[in-house]
Chains A and B, each alone.
Chain A
Amino acid sequence: MLETVLFFALALLAVTAAIGMIVHRSPVYSVLMLIITLFSIAGFYVLLNAPFVAAVHMIVYAGAIIVLFLFVVMLLDLRHESDRFTLTKFSRVLAFIAFLVFLGEAILLVKVAFIDGGLDIGLGGQVSQLGDTPSIGKLLFTAYLLPFEIASVLLLVAIIGAVILAKQNLKPSQ
C-alpha cells in the first residue's frame, strides 16, 4: 500500500518536473526542475531494492553534475530567452513525431500491462536483498574489474579534456 502511494507520488513528481524542465524560460529553473526529477528517480531506486545505486545517483547527479550545470549557467550570463524553441516549423513537426513514437512505446507497455496480463520474462517474484553495497562491490571488483579500470581511465581523459577545452587561450589570435 505504502509502496503504491509512494510510487505514484514519485511518478507524478518526476513527470511534472521533467515537463517543467523543457518548457521553462529560465535555464536556472530548468536545472532546478531536473534536480526534482532526479530526486524522484532516486526514490524509485530505493523502491526497487537498489539502495547503493540510489546513493551513488544522488552523489553523482545532485552533488556533481547539477552543480556543474548551475555553475556554467551562471557563468555564461545568458540573456532572457524570448523564443526558446527551435525556429523552423519543419523541425518542430519532426520533433513532435519523434515524441509521439516514443510515447507510443509507453502506451504499448500500458496495453501489455493491463490487457495482455503482464510482461513475462521468466524469473522474478521472489524478494531478496540483492542491491546492497557488498554484493555490488564484489561484482564490480571480480567480474567487472577490467571495465571498472577502463572507466577510471575514461574519467581521467574527461578531466584532461575539460581542462584543455575550457582554457582561456583557445581564442583565435587577433
Chain B
Amino acid sequence: MPIEYYLIVAAILFSIGVLGVLTRRNAIIVFLCIELMLNAVNLTLVAFSNHVQNLDGQVFVFFVMIVAAAEVAVGLALIVAIFRQKETVYVDEINLMKW
C-alpha cells in the first residue's frame, strides 16, 4: 500500500475535524473533533514512520496521545465547570470574555 493513500485518508479526516470545530455549537462535539484532528496527524506520523523505516515517528505518536489525554481531562473538567455556572455547553452562549 503506497504511503499516499494513508496521507489522503488522514487529510480527509483532518478536514472533517476542522469543519466540525468551526461549525458545531456543542463544546463537547468541538472537543471530539479536536480528538479526530489529533488522530489524523497521528496516522500521518505512523505512515511516514513506516515509510522511512524510522521508529521516532511512533514514539512521537505516543507523546501526542499523552498530551491528548491530558487535554481531554482538563477540557472536560472545564466544560463541567462552565455548565455548572451557566447551564449551557453551547460555545455561542459562553461569552463571558467577550467585549
Interface residues of A (CB under 8 A from B): 3-4, 7, 11, 14-15, 18-19, 21-22, 27, 30-31, 34, 37-38, 41, 44-45, 47-50, 52-53, 56-57, 60-61, 64-65, 68-69, 72-73, 75-76, 78, 81, 83-87, 91-92, 94-96, 98-99, 102-103, 105-106, 109-110, 112-113, 118-119, 121-124, 126, 128, 130-131, 135-136, 139-140, 144, 147, 151, 154-155, 157-159, 161-163, 165-166, 170-172
A136 and B33 alpha carbons, distance in the complex (Å): 28
Shortest A165–chain B CB gap in Å is 4
Q: How many residues does chain B have at the interface if contact means C-beta atoms less than 8 Å apart?
A: 72
**B9 interface residue, CB < 8 Å from A?**
yes
| Max chain B C-beta neighbours (<10 A), residue from A3, A4, A126, A162 | A162
A72 and B3 alpha carbons, distance in the complex (Å): 37
Evaluate whether A48 and B6 lie within 8 angstroms (CB atoms) in the complex, with A76-B83, A105-B11 already known: yes
Interface residues of B (CB under 8 A from A): 1-9, 11-20, 22-26, 28-29, 31-33, 35-36, 39, 42-43, 46-56, 58-59, 61-63, 65-74, 76-81, 83-85, 89, 91-92
- A72, B28: Cβ atoms under 8 Å? yes
Selected contact of B25 from candidates A37, A49, A81, CB within 8 Å:
A81
